[in-house]
Amino acid sequence: MTASATAPLAEVIAARLKEALHPTRLHVSNDSAQHGGHMGDDGSGESHFSVSVESPAFAGLSRLARQRLVNAALADLLATRIHALAIQARAPGE
């Protein structure tokens, strides 16, 4: 699944995480409006996000290892378009 470059960034994030982690649950929230005028706000309305993801890929992994998997799936976006990303990553049953 590939999301278009013109799609809202939250949709692109969701598509990337679905492809990389095959989540059982996923919620992506655009929190940019709460950070308007703050450092990192580029005026696009798409700079600050929260992700809550549940995936079997996280089973047995530390919190840091889980965040690294999420960051790896979004690496180019974190380098260019995402200023801040809050991550809640769980394995099924947690």
**How many residues in the chain?**
94
Fold that domain 9-90 belongs to in CATH: GMP Synthetase; Chain A, domain 3 (3.30.300)
Dihedrals phi, psi of 10, to nearest 5 degrees:
-60, -35
Burial class from Cβ neighbours inside 10 Å (0-12, 13-18, 19+) for residue 74 reads buried
Where along the chain do its domains lie?
9-90
Q: What is the pLDDT of residue 2?
A: 46
pLDDT at res. 78:
95
pLDDT in tens, 34-80: 755 666 555 566 788 999 999 999 999 999 999 999 999 999 999 99
Whether the model pTM is above 0.75: yes
